[in-house]
A and B are shown apart, each in its own frame.
Chain A
Amino acid sequence: AQKITQTQPGMFVQEKEAVTLDCTYDTSDPSYGLFWYKQPSSGEMIFLIYQGSYDQQNATEGRYSLNFQKARKSANLVISASQLGDSAMYFCAMREGGSQGNLIFGKGTKLSVKP
């Protein structure tokens, strides 16, 4: 079974609008971490935001926020006030268990911001 599911292969958003990228996860481990990465066409993997399974509040980092709904096992990324430079591939990833664990990635969502 897929550990990380991103159901939107591609998304379009108008510049300056907000967009939500979906991510659901599957784990039986009570301790896990959820990550979002941005990968522009140049290829580098850029860390955006992190949510721990025990964190009480939703994570925020500038224009990025994570809508963490633990009971539904979802960790959607919200980008506010989209910019042209936000056009990229976005990956949701999970680390299970301890802090040495590797990341399991979803298939990604390609976001295109329209002027």
Chain B
Amino acid sequence: AAGVIQSPRHLIKEKRETATLKCYPIPRHDTVYWYQQGPGQDPQFLISFYEKMQSDKGSIPDRFSAQQFSDYHSELNMSSLELGDSALYFCASSLTVGAYGYTFGSGTRLTVV
């Protein structure tokens, strides 16, 4: 079965650079979520999209933005990177009607040096 695809798997950036993370949800899933998990921390919700519209916002810094495109893939754009942005970034997708599950991608490990 198709899973949630995230790219890249690993990314190394320098401070003040920008990064773009991509997420391809499971086909026909209508909601995409982004989470940030710092080292030794629990995942923190950043932002979500339902049918390509932003549906909820969590603790996403102003330096970050995200969008969902017509083909349902989503991108998380991160600018002016800081050392503290080093984390595992997860994308998850779900189908809101008749289901309860969230499927997570394998994550993108971002290291800011």
Q: Name the CB-closest residue of A to B43.
A: A105
Is B100's CB under 8 angstroms from A100's CB? Answer: no
Is B42's CB under 8 angstroms from A99's CB? Answer: no
B64 interfacial by beta-carbon distance below 8 Å: no
Residues of A within 8 Å of B, CB-based: how many? 22
**A45-77 interface (Cβ within 8 A of B):** 45-47, 50, 52
Q: Name the CB-closest residue of A to B94.
A: A99
Q: Which of A50, A100, A106 contacts B42 (CB 8 A)?
A: A106
Is A107's CB under 8 angstroms from B106's CB? Answer: no
A residues near B92, Cβ cutoff 8 Å:
45, 103
The number of chain B residues touching the other chain, given as a range, is 20 to 34
**Bound Cα distance A44, B97 (Å):** 25
B residues near A104, Cβ cutoff 8 Å:
45
Is A45's CB under 8 angstroms from B45's CB? Answer: no
Majority secondary structure of chain B interface residues (helix, strand, loop or mixed): strand
Is B90's CB under 8 angstroms from A45's CB? Answer: yes
B residues near A46, Cβ cutoff 8 Å:
104
Segment of B11-19, B20-28, B48-56, B70-78 engaged in the interface with chain A? B48-56
**A70-115 interface (Cβ within 8 A of B):** 91, 98-108
Is B33's CB under 8 angstroms from A47's CB? Answer: no
B86 interfacial by beta-carbon distance below 8 Å: no
**Bound Cα distance A98, B100 (Å):** 10
Is A99's CB under 8 angstroms from B96's CB? Answer: yes
Q: Which of B31, B43, B99 contacts A45 (CB 8 A)?
A: B43
Is B109's CB under 8 angstroms from A43's CB? Answer: yes
**Bound Cα distance A100, B55 (Å):** 8
Q: Name the CB-closest residue of A to B96.
A: A99
Is A100's CB under 8 angstroms from B96's CB? Answer: yes
- Known contacts A43-B107, A44-B106, A102-B33; A107/B56 CB under 8 A: no
| Residues of chain A whose beta carbon lies under 8 Å from any beta carbon of chain B | 33, 35, 37, 43-47, 50, 52, 91, 98-108
| Residues of chain B whose beta carbon lies under 8 Å from any beta carbon of chain A | 31, 33, 35, 41-45, 48, 50, 55-56, 58, 88, 90, 92, 94, 96-97, 99-104, 106-107, 109
